[in-house]
Structure 1
Amino acid sequence: MTQPDPTPASPTSAAPDLPLYSPARVRELLTRHGLRPTKSLGQNFLIDGNILRAIAQAGGADVGVPVLEVGPGLGVLTREIASRGARVTALEKDERLRPVLAETLAGVDVEVVWGDALDFDYASLPAGTRVIANLPYYITGVLLSRFMHAPNILSATVLVQKEVGQRLAAHPGGDHYGFLSALAALHGTVRHVRDVPKGAFLPAPDVTSSVVRLDFDRSRPLPDPAFLRFVEAALHHRRKTLRNNLRLHGLEVGRVGAALEAAGLRADVRAEDVALADLARVAGELGVVQAGGVIR
């Protein structure tokens, strides 16, 4: 990870009568700096002021709050967050955006750190950090996992693909429930904030997006890695029976059957219908984790 950019920003004089999020202003910035959005980096820039304000509000951007943004792009959401008095750290990989961000973030309290978000040390963030970001879709899952494991991150309010948002917020027995749902529930709670249409971005993505907020319960110990591996195996084929999934994972059928019976579950129960507390009981019966562990 490179060091923060020490170069002072200079104010923009381009199209001063237009808000930064307006399509005309975004196009003008891109053209003047000779840039085109890079699909491989998931660059889709927000051009809807109402949605920008809704994301910042839902994310808890306020005076003195430390906020982490991943992928600031042109700085549109960054400025909205900073304008509320938050102390913003923005991680940006695309070095082509240096002159753009120097222009668009002039006069606001933002530290831009240049480098790959996958290489950043999230444990180094100050206590009480809140993530507010339009995440690059191609690394959403990896980043959410990093946020979950960073003890000083209290919440993550993020723009994700609608399908991912549905999976994050799903509960056992729901159509979208799977390992990502279980992972989120093990670390805290998820709230769907709002859907975001394709037209709110430039260029428009291929899918509808959603804003979701994940609140991490830091009073809980982090989940046992062995239990996480067990849950991932149990939900690998979520519409199959739990017994078959665990058999495919290499566990002996007779032991699995006995564990299901001891946990009070039917032999033919589907994986997607099993609550986390019941999965913990099965895992305990199988000796995967210590029996009697409590899942809240």
Structure 2
Amino acid sequence: MTPDPPTSPNPTPPAPLYSPARVRDLLAQHGLRPTKSLGQNFLIDGNILRAIAEAGLTGGPAEGTPVLEVGPGLGVLTREIALRGARVTALEKDEKLRPVLAETLADVDVQVVWGDALDFDYASLPQGTRVVANLPYYITGVLLSRFMHAPAIVSATVLVQKEVGQRLASRPGDDNYGFLSALAALYGTVRHVRDVPKGAFFPAPDVTSSVIRLDFDRSRPPPPAALLKFVEAALHHRRKTLRNNLRMIGQDAAAIDAALEALGLRPDVRAEDVPLGALRDLAERLGVLG
């Protein structure tokens, strides 16, 4: 019988999955390169990774919490969330990552769904789902809208471009206020968690990022489609006067003037300066909400 070779009493543990060297090795091992068109920028900062997971799971027990991740990439954030006890469903479009995720997620309970996040049925998610994700920047706005409209999703903690984060957290009168800000406020609240430097990713993106948490108030009735359409039109050219924006969608000038006066708003008020409640009142006075 041939004896087993001696083992080191203190074997060197593998480098963390988020280390730059490990990321490069994984990509080289599987013959991959980050795909710019898919917005692939992989996290290589453990502190940021833990901050995202903690922010995403705050407010409830981590054990058994359903979590949706969009774009798991190499599985770095996926593992961090799963190891905290969450039940993770990860949506991945890039089929070339199959062997990587099979390796990096082999010892954790994660369901990987292969396909485009834009085609996913968000209504199929279990109640109480939390989104925790490093979102592909090129479809951030569309995905956030899908999350807001999905009743089962109670929060979304996401990495986004810093500019998008500023828009989400802005209030009427702020420089970055617009339809995305209003949409977030209609569905709940927004909290800025932290900014993330370019060097926290491989490859480094062209912009600084931010971690933002959106909490959706599902006790409210969802805003009617007519109101969403009205607010979007009102803020489409947010630096123009509200009166002109509403005229562009066919509202009667005299009716607009009368409604603005009744609400104590100046005739030349800019759309970006009008509180969301006043926009709702204006929609009611103009008969938009039926």
TM superposition score category, shorter chain reference = over 0.9
> 8 Å contact 1:88–1:111 — kept in the other structure?
yes
Q: Which residue is 2:25 aligned to?
A: 28
Instruction: Determine the C-alpha separation between the residues in 2 that align with 1:124 and 1:265.
Output: 43
> 8 Å contact 1:262–1:285 — kept in the other structure?
no
Q: Which residue is 1:161 aligned to?
A: 161
Instruction: Determine the C-alpha separation between the residues in 2 that align with 1:261 and 1:275.
Output: 15
Q: Indicate yes or no: 2:143 matched with 1:138.
A: no
Alpha-carbon shift at residue 251 of structure 1 (Å): 1.6
User: For residue 273 of structure 1, what is the amino acid of its counterpart?
Assistant: D
Q: Which residue is 1:9 aligned to?
A: none
Instruction: Determine the C-alpha separation between the residues in 2 that align with 1:254 and 1:71.
Output: 50
User: For residue 158 of structure 2, what is the amino acid of its counterpart?
Assistant: V
Instruction: Determine the C-alpha separation between the residues in 1 that align with 2:157 and 2:170.
Output: 17
Q: Indicate yes or no: 2:57 matched with 1:60.
A: yes
> 8 Å contact 1:71–1:90 — kept in the other structure?
yes
Write the mapping of 1:140-289 to structure 2, written as runs, cut at 5 A.
140-289=140-289
> 8 Å contact 1:256–1:286 — kept in the other structure?
yes
Instruction: Determine the C-alpha separation between the residues in 2 that align with 1:175 and 1:247.
Output: 24
Instruction: Determine the C-alpha separation between the residues in 2 that align with 1:228 and 1:66.
Output: 29
Instruction: Determine the C-alpha separation between the residues in 1 that align with 2:249 and 2:236.
Output: 9
User: For residue 41 of structure 1, what is the amino acid of its counterpart?
Assistant: L
Instruction: Determine the C-alpha separation between the residues in 1 that align with 2:249 and 2:194.
Output: 37
Instruction: Determine the C-alpha separation between the residues in 2 that align with 1:248 and 1:207.
Output: 34
Alpha-carbon shift at residue 16 of structure 1 (Å): 5.0
Instruction: Determine the C-alpha separation between the residues in 1 that align with 2:152 and 2:88.
Output: 15
Instruction: Determine the C-alpha separation between the residues in 1 that align with 2:13 and 2:136.
Output: 29
Q: Which residue is 2:111 aligned to?
A: 111
Q: Which residue is 1:3 aligned to?
A: none
Q: Which residue is 1:123 aligned to?
A: 123
User: For residue 280 of structure 1, what is the amino acid of its counterpart?
Assistant: R
Instruction: Determine the C-alpha separation between the residues in 2 that align with 1:163 and 1:18.
Output: 33
Instruction: Determine the C-alpha separation between the residues in 1 that align with 2:123 and 2:228.
Output: 21
User: For residue 200 of structure 2, what is the amino acid of its counterpart?
Assistant: A
Normalising by structure 2, we get a TM-score of 0.93
Task: Tell me the SS of whatever aligns to 2:21.
Answer: helix
The alignment covers a number of residue pairs equal to 276
User: For residue 266 of structure 2, what is the amino acid of its counterpart?
Assistant: R
Q: Deviations over 1:13-62 (max 9, x none)?
A: xx952100000000000011000000110000000000000000000171
* Alignment RMSD (CA, Å): 1.0
User: For residue 249 of structure 1, what is the amino acid of its counterpart?
Assistant: I
Task: Tell me the SS of whatever aligns to 1:269.
Answer: coil
User: For residue 199 of structure 1, what is the amino acid of its counterpart?
Assistant: G
| Residue identity (%) | 81
> Which stretches in structure 1 are left out of the alignment for 5+ residues?
1-14, 291-296
User: For residue 58 of structure 1, what is the amino acid of its counterpart?
Assistant: A
Instruction: Determine the C-alpha separation between the residues in 2 that align with 1:273 and 1:245.
Output: 13
